[in-house]
Amino acid sequence: MTKIIDGKQVSLQIRQEIAAEVAEITKNGSRPPHLVAVLVGNDGASETYVTHKVKDCEEVGFRSSLYRYEDSISEDELLQVVDSINQDAEVDGLIVQLPLPKHISVDKIIGKILPEKDVDGFHPANLGRMVKGWPAYMPATPNGIVELLKRTGIDTSGKHCVVIGRSQIVGLPVSILMARNTQPGNCTVTLCHSKTQNMAEITRQADILIAAIGIPGFVKADMVKEGAVVIDVGTTRVADTSKKSGFVLKGDVLYDEVAPKCSYITPVPGGVGPMTRASLLQNTLLAAKGMIYE
């Protein structure tokens, strides 16, 4: 029988653990962890994500600040904003919400964030530390996936993990995490992408299939073997006039068709999404405690 991996429940556990630790920190007279989010433009999904992040901070006792800018802001102006936040000793974590307008280089902006405040885990210094197996701020979604597997009690050692998608935010880092000599980890990992030939042949070999390609319903039943663990990272907004919001979130996996074949599967929404937000809180707490860059 298929077991649904409840990301909402697992993320609730993590937030409760963080809230208890923050209560101890502030009880001793120290200030609470402080997360700053920078939002450029009016992208609907970004607005939603940032609103959730602010709410999460309030829930666990963090301080949060939101800096909003029009999408007409220049690259130099945004770099100056990042620099001023870098220099603020009262700020522990800084995230610049993606995507950014096309005239702004994401690499330049991410590279400007101090590695010790890069709680999204996107800076090359943190990615490099992750590859080396050193303490690092892990990219939030890959870390959330690993945490889900860990807290669900899924044994990954020696298993074949197939990752679909090679983005620097999800696919590539999660493939590295799943191959590390840790638990969860110790997988034999295959990374599939847009140039992969015979993809269904490869995905059918997966004991653990992680879909992070951003195409709704891409993974169908004939791509999954019986008893596989399927992690769906997809969160594409698809228009739906029957919904108050005007859209519905769709995963990369054709859930109703695939779920009956799985031992475990994450739903969309309510699977990986809440874990991404919980991982951001975990990183911010680590930053406030000076646990990574001592």
Q: Give the active site residues.
A: 53, 97, 120
Tokens of 274: 């809440």
167 known ligand binder: yes
What residues contact residue 35 under an 8 Å CB cut-off, 6+ apart? 53, 57, 62, 63, 64, 65, 91, 92, 93, 94, 95, 119, 280, 284
What's the start-to-end Cα distance of the chain, in Å?
Answer: 46
235 known ligand binder: yes
CA distances from 69 to 75, 237, 242, 290 (A): 12, 24, 32, 29
Tokens of 71: 């999408």
Annotated binding site for NADP(+): 165-167, 235
Annotated binding-site positions: 165-167, 235
